[in-house]
């Protein structure tokens, strides 16, 4: 198949899912064209995927850059020049509308919903109606968790098929030798990785760490960057734990740091899925996370702990209990096996391929009202 894949290129999970899927499809012999404003960070080097940059012209008359129109134009040209047979967008806003504009129903569209495209931007009147219309016309809509699929039904009137995210267990693997770079031999290493948006509640992570550190010798690595990073570091300073917190802004090889952790922390207010937590499990690192969105669909008691959102005391207790458990080594092993077994990239690629085949054959649309 000749597939056009659309995503955001930055630190976000939807770009990671799209780039890795594009790469696996290309290795299966499909011609895959990846559209983004920059080369997505997680597209593997030497990938057979063909990257098509979306160039957004700036002009003083425009109040803001016209990304939607530029993307639609790039897709329309690629349909003519490369004979795209199907377009798969990741993150609905504004990708679903841009793809609809470019294709006008001539080739099938598949849209994958990831999180705030439904729960935050999706409910914004500025975007809701047109996005709902575009999703309802698509050949298929998928969501990365049951929870997100239910929210999408309410917000957009669609019935997405759930396809969970995959994790590359060859890349995300235990890396205990690296722990010495971040912690002393008698200290535990806690890690959080994200794009530091408000929804990730990185300040809560720092508060939890300060509580844990009162009981257990430990250090915290904050991996990644984004709008809340400075605030998180200022909280660490005000709680007097800044000496024990390392902030690593670059995330070229997150697996090297995550794989060195004893426990991974995710305190989000919402997660459509929570990809970084799954990556931690693949590294053999148990996860303590908030019971929100799609997280309870993959975080089971055999590989980590769930706590109520905002209950920082319970969060800290769960971390302390995990780190003090005589079972920690078993939990680590279980975490890796669990990720390998349930979130295998090839199985998940098969599921997307099935959706594409059905879409191309014009079978009953996946994701519309039955």
Residues that bind ligand GMT (CB under 6 A): 8, 12-15, 17, 91, 114-117, 144, 165, 195, 199, 270-275
By the 8 A CB rule, do 303 and 244 touch?
no
What is the nearest approach in angstroms of ligand GMT to the Cβ of residue 275? Answer: 3
Nearer to ligand GMT, 156 or 273 (CB): 273
Q: Which residue, among 49, 53, 138, has the nearest Cα to 92 in the 3D structure?
A: 138
Nearer to ligand GMT, 152 or 183 (CB): 152
What is the nearest approach in angstroms of ligand GMT to the Cβ of residue 115? Answer: 2
| Alpha carbon distance 268, 290 (integer Å) | 6
Nearer to ligand GMT, 8 or 315 (CB): 8
Strands of the 50-53 sheet, one edge to the other = 50-53, 31-36, 2-6, 86-90, 109-113, 140-143, 161-162
Rounding to the nearest 10 degrees, give the CA dihedral for residues 333, 165, 172, 30. Answer: 130
What is the nearest approach in angstroms of ligand GMT to the Cβ of residue 328? Answer: 25
What is the nearest approach in angstroms of ligand GMT to the Cβ of residue 294? Answer: 7
Nearer to ligand GMT, 118 or 358 (CB): 118
| Alpha carbon distance 132, 184 (integer Å) | 52
126: left (phi over 0), alpha (psi -120 to 50) or beta: alpha
What is the nearest approach in angstroms of ligand GMT to the Cβ of residue 141? Answer: 14
| Alpha carbon distance 82, 231 (integer Å) | 46
Residues in the chain: 370
Nearer to ligand GMT, 57 or 310 (CB): 310
Q: What are the residues whose beta carbons fall under 8 Å from the beta carbon of 59, sequence distance 6 or more?
A: none
Instruction: Dump the DSSP string for 208-272.
Output: HHHHHHHHS-EEEEEES--TTHHHHHHHHHHTT-GGGEEEE---SSHHHHHTT-SEEEE--S--S
Nearer to ligand GMT, 79 or 205 (CB): 205
Nearer to ligand GMT, 73 or 274 (CB): 274
By the 8 A CB rule, do 292 and 276 touch?
no
**Could you tell me what percentage of the chain is helix, strand and coil, using 3-state DSSP and rounding each to the nearest 5?**
45, 15, 40
What is the nearest approach in angstroms of ligand GMT to the Cβ of residue 10? Answer: 8
What is the nearest approach in angstroms of ligand GMT to the Cβ of residue 324? Answer: 29
Nearer to ligand GMT, 297 or 353 (CB): 297
Nearer to ligand GMT, 2 or 161 (CB): 161
What is the nearest approach in angstroms of ligand GMT to the Cβ of residue 23? Answer: 16
Nearer to ligand GMT, 159 or 197 (CB): 197
- Using Cβ positions, the residue closest to ligand GMT within the complex turns out to be 115
What is the nearest approach in angstroms of ligand GMT to the Cβ of residue 220? Answer: 21
What is the nearest approach in angstroms of ligand GMT to the Cβ of residue 267? Answer: 12
In a 13 Å sphere around the CA of 352, the CA atoms on its Cβ side amount to 31
- Say how many Å lie between the first and final Cα of the chain, rounded: 27
| Alpha carbon distance 365, 109 (integer Å) | 10
């Amino acid at each position: 198949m000749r597939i056009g894949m659309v995503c955001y290129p930055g630190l976000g999970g939807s770009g990671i899912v799209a780039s890795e899927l594009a790469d696996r499809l290309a290795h299966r012999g499909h011609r895959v064209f990846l559209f983004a404003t920059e080369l997505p960070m997680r597209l593997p080097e030497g990938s057979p995927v063909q990257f098509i940059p979306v160039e957004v012209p700036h002009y003083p008359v425009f109040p803001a850059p016209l990304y939607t129109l530029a993307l639609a134009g790039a897709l329309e040209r690629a349909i003519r020049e490369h004979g795209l047979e199907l377009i798969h967008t990741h993150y609905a806003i504004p990708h679903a509308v841009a793809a609809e504009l470019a294709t006008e129903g001539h080739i099938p569209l598949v849209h994958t919903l990831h999180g705030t495209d439904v729960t935050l931007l999706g409910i914004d009147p500025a975007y809701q109606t047109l996005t709902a219309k575009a999703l309802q016309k698509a050949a298929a809509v998928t969501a990365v968790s049951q929870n997100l699929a239910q929210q999408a039904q309410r917000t957009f009137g669609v019935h997405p098929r759930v396809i969970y995210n995959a994790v590359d267990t060859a890349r995300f693997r235990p890396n205990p030798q690296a722990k010495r770079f971040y912690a002393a031999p008698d200290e535990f290493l806690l890690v959080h990785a994200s794009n530091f948006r408000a929804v990730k509640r990185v300040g809560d992570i720092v508060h939890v760490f300060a509580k844990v550190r009162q009981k257990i010798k430990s250090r915290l690595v904050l991996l990644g960057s984004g709008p809340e990073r400075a605030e998180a570091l200022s909280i660490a300073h005000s709680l007097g734990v800044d000496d024990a917190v390392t902030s690593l802004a670059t995330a070229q090889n997150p697996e090297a740091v995550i794989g060195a952790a004893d426990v991974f922390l995710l305190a989000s207010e919402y997660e459509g899925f929570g990809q970084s937590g799954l990556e931690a499990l693949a590294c053999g690192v148990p996860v303590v996370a908030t019971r929100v969105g799609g997280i309870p669909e993959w975080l089971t008691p055999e590989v980590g702990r769930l706590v109520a959102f905002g209950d920082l005391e319970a969060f800290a207790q769960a971390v302390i209990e995990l780190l003090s458990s005589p079972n920690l080594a078993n939990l680590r092993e279980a975490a890796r096996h669990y990720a390998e077994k349930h979130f295998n990239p090839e199985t998940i690629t098969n599921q997307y391929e099935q959706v594409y085949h059905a879409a191309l054959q014009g079978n009953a649309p996946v994701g519309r009202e039955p």
